[in-house]
Amino acid sequence: MVNLIEIIDRALEGPFTSENDFDLNIFVPKLRELIKKYEIKYDPENPLSCDDDLADRVFKAGIDLFANVGIYCVDTERIIKFTEEEILEGLAEATSRPVFGEGSDAKALVARKPESDIDPWCFIGAGGAAVSNETLFESILEAYASFLPLADSITTPTIKHIEGRLVRTKSPLEILACMRSSTLARSALRKGGRAGLPIMNAIASAGSDTAKIAGSQFGLRPTDGWLIGTIAEMKINFERLNEIAFVMNLGGHIVAESAPILGGYCGGPEGTAVTNVAYHLNSILLMKGSCQLTFPIHVNHGCTTDRAVIWANSASAQAISRNSHFPFFILNYVAAGPMTEMCLYEIAAVVINAVVSGASIEFGGVAKAVEVDHFTPMEPKWASEIAHGVIGMTRSQGNEIVKKLLAKYEDDIPNAPNGKTYEQCWNMKTKQPILEYKQLYKKIKAELGELGVRFKF
């Protein structure tokens, strides 16, 4: 496989072009050409695809796109290119069972296939959404440890204020926020009885490479996950390459993040699906990941629960899971907020879609992850229960359930309710959800059971 030094050489010496030219004259035309070449067509009537041939064509198109377009380095205005031979070699050599966590919480993340009977990995929590202060941060993390029995790893919130002061990127406060989030998260998980549970979005409070590297020394372990993202669309910069160099030499796990934007340069769901496959390949070759975390997202809605995004996720997840042994997660952001029916319907739809299509899940993005303190342990608990309730389900059955769920919420996505805050629907003394939320959860759980979800408990 191509090593990091060679990748840096290509970032410095690869083909030169402006960013605008890369976007409009290289990426977009090639993507459109490949959609036609491989006859990839969106089927809105079947948001959870059941078409194996389509999945394989999407995968071939993704290889073609990555080999022809490459990854643009913003700092040098150079394109990092890989040959098809290097791509196929990378796929063959990619890891398939990375082990995260320590002690009794250590576990291998195993690649899955469509309709697999292998348990999906549940990477759950806040999804990096903002929490207003350190006290709530610690309370939420402790609740995750004690309230989420199906959690395989945790995704933490971002601390918005330190001692009443707004955290600004590339400031000393950002570094302090990262240090404290690492320390507080590890302490809270220990208090909740899951000391070895891996934190896989290290570090949510970091906006810069400096803060991520500095903050990691205050509680993170090599067995945690180090989330490092690409830039939409098909871009990287020196900050991300700095992080990759650091984590590789630490011996840590890189969770390679990507977020193709439906309605942006990817175009529609077909282009988003193909680009998602290209990001999967990039996660192996350039990002040096132990796994991929991806979340195709709608440019206008800011969530992943739109019908077209669900189809793009399904088509690309099946393309990846049928043709690659490199494990991956689909992260989802729902439009509605906590303690709303819509939120629980959205979560169910996207989790069913991901798991039945062969992916594992990250969940935590409630109210689009843009409303401060708008998340509780109930939403990730629901996501994990749904994930385990559809293990082995056929795509055709999953598709029918997803269609019924879409009918309940998709018209409301543009004006989704924000729901309630953590403190409004979680009893801080008893460390349990309030009665009203328990009743709503029970009601929607019964509905999903009638639709065919086989809950564990």
pLDDT per residue over 31-85, tens digit each?
Answer: 999 999 999 999 999 999 999 999 999 999 999 999 999 999 999 999 999 999 9
In a domain, 400, yes or no: yes
In a domain, 63, yes or no: no
In a domain, 8, yes or no: no
pLDDT score for 218: 85
pLDDT score for 276: 99
In a domain, 14, yes or no: no
Task: Give the domain CATH number at 237.
Answer: 3.20.20.460
CA angle in degrees (0–180, nearest 5) for 179-183-187: 170
User: With 90 as the cut, is the pLDDT of residue 442 above it?
Assistant: yes
Nearest of 328, 329, 348, 361 to residue 398 by alpha carbon: 348
For residue 438, the enclosing domain spans 99-451
CB atoms within 10 A of CB 190: 14
In a domain, 165, yes or no: yes
3-state secondary structure of 83: coil
pLDDT band of 268, cuts 50, 70, 90 = very high
pLDDT score for 335: 98
pLDDT band of 212, cuts 50, 70, 90 = confident
| Distances, alpha carbon 285 to alpha carbons 74, 82, 92, 242, in Å | 18, 8, 11, 16
In a domain, 91, yes or no: no
- Which pTM value belongs to this model? 0.97
User: With 80 as the cut, is the pLDDT of residue 215 above it?
Assistant: no
Q: What average pLDDT does the segment 259-281 reach?
A: 99
* Backbone torsions φ then ψ of 169, nearest 5 degrees: -60, 140
What per-residue string of b and e applies to 283-306 under the rule 16 or more CB within 10 Å gives b? bbbbbbbbbbbbbbbbeebbbbbb
Q: What average pLDDT does the segment 285-304 reach?
A: 98
For the chain, how many structural domains are there in total? 1
pLDDT band of 202, cuts 50, 70, 90 = low
In a domain, 83, yes or no: no
pLDDT in tens, 144-167: 999 999 999 999 999 999 999 999
Residue 73's DSSP bridge partners are: 78, 236
User: With 70 as the cut, is the pLDDT of residue 187 above it?
Assistant: yes
In a domain, 9, yes or no: no
